């Protein structure tokens, strides 16, 4: 069973439908016991960093989520669900993230390009921590994925960056480290290649 964590943010039903379509046994839940029983976890997120953390804290699930991550359970963060894995964000300067990784979430230095970065963009994959064997297995490099965001994560450890895109500057598009996977793009909105990413996670 894969638990899609419900903390009041994220495209829960579109993510559930997409993951189920590639073979995932998905349950939307805000119960700690379900998270403990799950084989894998998906952590969605839409909106502001601070609001996501406030909602997540209100559920009381943070200790359970962190315990399961540190115990080695696979987790997939999506969009702001990826950003909150880091220490903090300049979008919400007084709010701590989950601090799974060191590093900050910064506003994209997009130059003359519009913010938010919204729409399809090509993704360059790295072989970080075997990313080409895991999250992006079987996906052609420079495939296009769908983004909606103004901020991106800048990890202290650059080795966890599994993929990047370019939007005025190099932007972190995905991370991967051991049992932890996350995408800044929305796989559930990214057509066949997005479904392939979800399938790879489901089949880990």
Catalytically annotated residues? 79, 186, 188
Residue with tokens 């190099």: 170
Q: Contact 38/74 with Cβ under 8 angstroms?
A: no
DSSP annotation of 189 reads: G
Residue with tokens 């995932």: 24
Q: How many Å apart are CA 50 and CA 52, to the nearest integer?
A: 5
Q: Contact 83/98 with Cβ under 8 angstroms?
A: no
Question: At 71, phi and psi to the nearest 5?
Answer: -80, -5
Burial of 21 by CB count in 10 Å (0-12 exposed, 13-18 middle, 19+ buried)? Answer: middle
Question: How many angstroms separate the Cα of 55 from the Cα of each of 48, 51, 81?
Answer: 11, 6, 12
Q: Contact 131/141 with Cβ under 8 angstroms?
A: no
């Amino acid at each position: 069973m894969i638990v899609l964590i419900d903390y009041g943010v994220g495209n829960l039903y579109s993510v559930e439908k997409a993951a189920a379509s590639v073979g995932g046994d998905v349950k939307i839940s805000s119960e700690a016991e379900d998270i403990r029983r799950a084989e894998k976890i998906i952590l969605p997120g839409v909106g502001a960093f601070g609001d996501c953390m406030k909602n997540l804290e209100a559920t009381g699930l943070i200790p359970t989520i962190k315990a399961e991550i540190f115990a080695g359970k696979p987790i997939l963060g999506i969009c702001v669900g990826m950003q909150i894995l880091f220490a903090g964000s300049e979008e919400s300067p007084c709010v701590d993230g989950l601090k799974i990784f060191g590093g900050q979430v910064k506003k994209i230095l997009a130059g003359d390009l519009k913010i938010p970065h919204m729409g399809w963009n090509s993704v360059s994959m790295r072989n970080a921590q075997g990313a080409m064997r895991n999250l992006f297995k079987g996906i052609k490099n420079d495939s296009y994925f769908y983004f909606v965001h103004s901020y991106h994560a800048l990890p202290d450890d650059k080795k966890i960056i599994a993929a990047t895109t370019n939007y005025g500057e190099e932007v972190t598009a995905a991370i991967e480290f051991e049992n932890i996977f996350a995408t800044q793009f929305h796989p559930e909105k990214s057509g066949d290649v997005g479904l392939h990413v979800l399938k790879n996670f489901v089949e880990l």
